[in-house]
Amino acid sequence: MLISIENKVCSCCKESKTVDQFRKAANNKKDGLFNFCIPCQDTYNRDLYQRKKDKRKKQVELWNLEHHEETKIYKINSYYKKIGKKPPKRKKINPIPDAPYIPPELNF
């Protein structure tokens, strides 16, 4: 149910603007437009990015540390795919299971 209007008031700057200064909304808005005008929405998104940048950077670094071997293999495969060759076969490394350390004097 779309309502045809010519002007709309921005919820952020409280100015009345034409509807072409608002982005289309994907959800079920009555008029099919966002509540913020394009400049206000751009400013909000830029500020949000700056606020979350450090947290996101830490998350990416942590993920890269946890998935180092997979990332390395992916980069190698991507390189060989780009140059049009098959990557060399890699030996599988069997990880050593994590076993608790038992001192020799307690080992029966």
What secondary structure does DSSP assign to 28-49, as a single string? --SSSEEEEEHHHHHHHHHHHH
Please answer whether residues 25 and 33 qualify as being in contact, where contact means their C-beta atoms are separated by less than 8 angstroms. yes
With respect to residue 35, please indicate whether it lies within any of the assigned structural domains: yes
Hunting for tokens 């980069």 — which residue is that? 75
With respect to residue 57, please indicate whether it lies within any of the assigned structural domains: yes
pLDDT of 20 reads: 92
With respect to residue 25, please indicate whether it lies within any of the assigned structural domains: yes
With respect to residue 101, please indicate whether it lies within any of the assigned structural domains: no
Please answer whether residues 25 and 39 qualify as being in contact, where contact means their C-beta atoms are separated by less than 8 angstroms. no
Average pLDDT, the chain: 83
Q: Tell me the pLDDT band of 1, cut-offs 50, 70 and 90.
A: very low
With respect to residue 90, please indicate whether it lies within any of the assigned structural domains: no
With respect to residue 78, please indicate whether it lies within any of the assigned structural domains: yes
Count H helices and E strands in the chain, helices first: 2, 4
d(CA 4, CA 15): 19
Domain span at residue 43? 7-83
The count of structural domains within the chain is 1
Mean pLDDT, to the nearest integer, of 74-84?
Answer: 88
With respect to residue 2, please indicate whether it lies within any of the assigned structural domains: no
With respect to residue 59, please indicate whether it lies within any of the assigned structural domains: yes
